[in-house]
Chains A and B, each alone.
Chain A
Amino acid sequence: DAGVTQSPTHLIKTRGQHVTLRCSPISGHKSVSWYQQVLGQGPQFIFQYYEKEERGRGNFPDRFSARQFPNYSSELNVNALLLGDSALYLCASQGAGLRGYTFGSGTRLTVV
């Protein structure tokens, strides 16, 4: 079985641009969460979706948004990029019982 897949693996954007990151959860998993990991720090929670509904939101500005599709894949959108948005963005999926988290390899976003 495929694990959590994220795309793209790396990308470079310019300040002020928009970016869309994608995540496909493990087959059968209905919950997807997004985390931001700035260099040298632990991951910070951004969003959680379950059955296409937002279940939680971290302390991030409204420039960050997300959605979950009927096939349970998810997109994270960031508008008006700032240099400080440069980070590794991690997606995690959860299966039945919602007590385990499997992470993807992440998308490394660099804003210049």
Chain B
Amino acid sequence: AQSVTQLDSQVPVFEEAPVELRCNYSSSVSVYLFWYVQYPNQGLQLLLKYLSGSTLVKGINGFEAEFNKSQTSFHLRKPSVHISDTAEYFCAVTLTGGGNKLTFGTGTQLKVEL
């Protein structure tokens, strides 16, 4: 079975600073990887996904992530954060082939401060 570890439960950062949210996964077979953002009292919004191809994936709101198969990681980065990026971020994994369940990490709370 696959699993996801988000190493940081909270990440405080000043506005306009860069940020990296870490995600490691475990799976014995190939996977698809996702990052979702959740604002307070809302559902999940897809930031980006890796299905195949280029290991550097660009998403919405200036976020990007790099798939590293050897390190089984899919870290999320943004070069300059804004106050509006304050939210909970979830990394998720699913088996390739489609139609499989998503397994989520426990989330990272990104708090952007002035």
B-contacting residues of A (Cβ < 8 Å)? 4, 31, 33, 35, 40-45, 48, 50, 55-56, 58, 90, 92, 94, 97-106, 108
Contact = CB atoms under 8 A, between A and B. Distances in A.
Contacts of B44: 43, 90, 92, 103
Contacts, number: 60
Contacts of A41: 106-107
A42 B104 contact: yes
Interface of B: 4, 32, 34, 36, 41-46, 49, 51, 90, 92, 98-107
Contacts of A102: 46
Contacts of A48: 99, 101
A68 to B, nearest CB: 14
A97 to B, nearest CB: 6
B39 to A, nearest CB: 10
B16 to A, nearest CB: 29
A39 to B, nearest CB: 11
B19 to A, nearest CB: 19
Contacts of B36: 103
